[in-house]
Chain A
Amino acid sequence: MGSGTKLLQRVTTGWRILIVALVWLGIITWLHFSFNFEVTNRPILRMGYMPVVANLACPLLDYASEGQQGLRFEALKFSSFAEMGEALRKGDIQAAFIIAPLSVVLHQQGAGVRIVYIGNRHESTLVYRKDLNVKSFADLAGKSIAVPLRYSGHNLCIRRLAEQFGIADANLNIVEINPPDMAAALAVGSLDAYFVGEPFAAKTVLAGESKVLYYVEQVWPDFICNLMIVRKDFIDTNPNHVRLLVQGAARSGLWASKHPKEAAKIASKYWNQPLEIVEYALTQPPDRTVYNRFVPKEDEIRFMADLMVHFKLLTCNDTSGLVYDKFAVEADLKGITDFGSILNPPDAN
């Protein structure tokens, strides 16, 4: 019958569509899981990070553990510290390379985090637009200065400098801008200066768009840009993993200090930044980056918390229990030779 066959056609078409839809789902799922996932039965330790020199350990650890056996370190790039904090709280990542003051904030919010490692020091730079006539910090009064976040060592440093040079709050124009946007904003003239971790400062210096006012070590020796935090309960359940993590991070830093060009090559791939800029950031001025002061110290963190209270970023300077230096202090730093030795100390058991 006419209507009967039409109905049959309709049903068949419906089934056909369903089958095609299911087949497509199958194909795209299979493709996705074969291209974008690493299948492994190794235990994985996920580290969240942002692409700055202070967190060089993160891509190095990921790369070093790639072809090997044992614990797999996986580096996960984040675009905001807020997300990173959330992911750490939920356990989606086990370690976070986070901007230092934020660790105090998280601690006071009861997130149960511990600072186990300090990232490379002296890798932040204050640069100003080259057409401005800036001889000292006093000349930046009234000019727009960008920092990554109000809870950053950079913000604290700028405010300290402002106090030092007698610049009133009303005359201080600090803006929070995402590091990748700082270079572009400076280049088009909507920003006068910015203070950030490398390689974001090197970007405009190399492009001839900015000049260096201060290397951070000139105004704040021992400046901490980023540090590594893990949750206390992760330390309790997997102390050996944390030990390997901190030890590997420390060893990778010491390796990088002897092989900056190779380190730059690895980092530039992970960060998706041009090699020349990363190399410049790691080698100019020579021996700039400090890799061997990675043990977290109570008094340093307390000093930072005091500054945060002084500049009204926090109401309380409590940092008790935040620093956990056991793994950093006990890290085996012997026999760091080639890249493979980062995760394989000579007398490891």
Chain B
Amino acid sequence: MDWEQIKRFVLPLLVFVVVGGIWEFLAAVTGWSSAVFPTPRAAASGMWQLIVDGTLVKHSVASLYRVTVGFYLSVIIALPLGMILGWWKTGQLMFNSMIQFLRPISPLAWIPLALLWFGIGDRPAIFLIFLAAFFPLLVSTINAVNHINSLYFQVAANFNFTRFETLTKIIFPAVLPAVLPALRISLGVAWLVVVAAEMIAVKSGLGYLIIDSRNALRMDYVMDAMIAIGLIGICLDRIIVQLHRIKSVAWGSV
């Protein structure tokens, strides 16, 4: 292993260790009981319990399922819609205000409507996750289309491209370099919203685990669920970052 690789692994690990030390220090110094603010050791033993009885895996799977479906839905809808609206300037004019109006409304605010439209269980949670990921993606895509060099459209006209060909051969490849970072952010937001989305009557999920454990004043489980969310978040991020490495996209780093 060369020095570069060691650095890439050890330096971040060092930061984690220091933060863990600060946590331990705070737990000792603030005088709150371990039931209210658990020490890293209490959290670690709770984590072991959760892993061994399968609870953590069960809940992680549930959250990952909802985020997967919600995120996929938002990509399938936001990307084409964004490309179309970005290209169709009149449409952009018509819908932009509505988009900017809906965008800042927190997914939490949508909970009563989500319950009304989708009942209880996975579907309202997926809806909230979809909402959270949809708007950033839509806005970024529209923005990316707006920044396409108009020369490309002239080239398309020269080649007599149909609308579909322009969309798939000019617009889509042109927006990819900007859309991929947006995908990364959207996925992050979708995973972040999982706690809020699972506040509704679901019986599983890391968000549900946090709320249920908090209601039972099992703060060690709360910390463990938070840690699990963080760790899975890192993995998701690392995976989606791989998309940046695709040669055919890397050309247009903005």
Contacts and interface: CB of A to CB of B under 8 A. Distances in A.
A274 B221 CA distance: 13
A222 interface: no
Contacts of B112: 82, 86
A17 B176 CA distance: 14
Nearest to B66: A32
Interface string B78-121: 00000000000000000000000000000000001001100111
B244 interface: no
Interface in B183-230: 199-201, 203-204, 211-218
Given A25-B68, A180-B216, A79 B199 contact: yes
Contact of A272 (B62, B200, B215): B215
Interface residues of A, number: 37
B72 A25 contact: yes
Contacts of B200: 83
B27 interface: no
Interface stretch (A5-13, A153-161, A279-287): A5-13
B170 interface: no
Contacts of B119: 87, 90, 92
Interface of A: 6, 9-10, 13, 17, 21, 24-25, 28-29, 31-32, 35-36, 48, 51, 76-79, 82-84, 86-87, 90, 92-93, 180, 183-184, 187, 203, 271-274
30 contacts: A6-B248, A9-B248, A21-B72, A28-B64, A28-B68, A31-B61, A32-B62, A35-B61, A36-B58, A36-B61, A36-B203, A36-B204, A51-B215, A76-B201, A77-B203, A77-B212, A79-B215, A82-B112, A83-B200, A83-B201, A87-B119, A90-B119, A92-B119, A92-B121, A184-B36, A184-B217, A203-B217, A272-B215, A272-B216, A274-B216
Given A28-B61, A36-B61, A87-B119, 12 more contacts: A9-B247, A17-B243, A35-B61, A35-B204, A76-B120, A79-B211, A83-B120, A92-B119, A180-B215, A203-B217, A272-B213, A272-B216
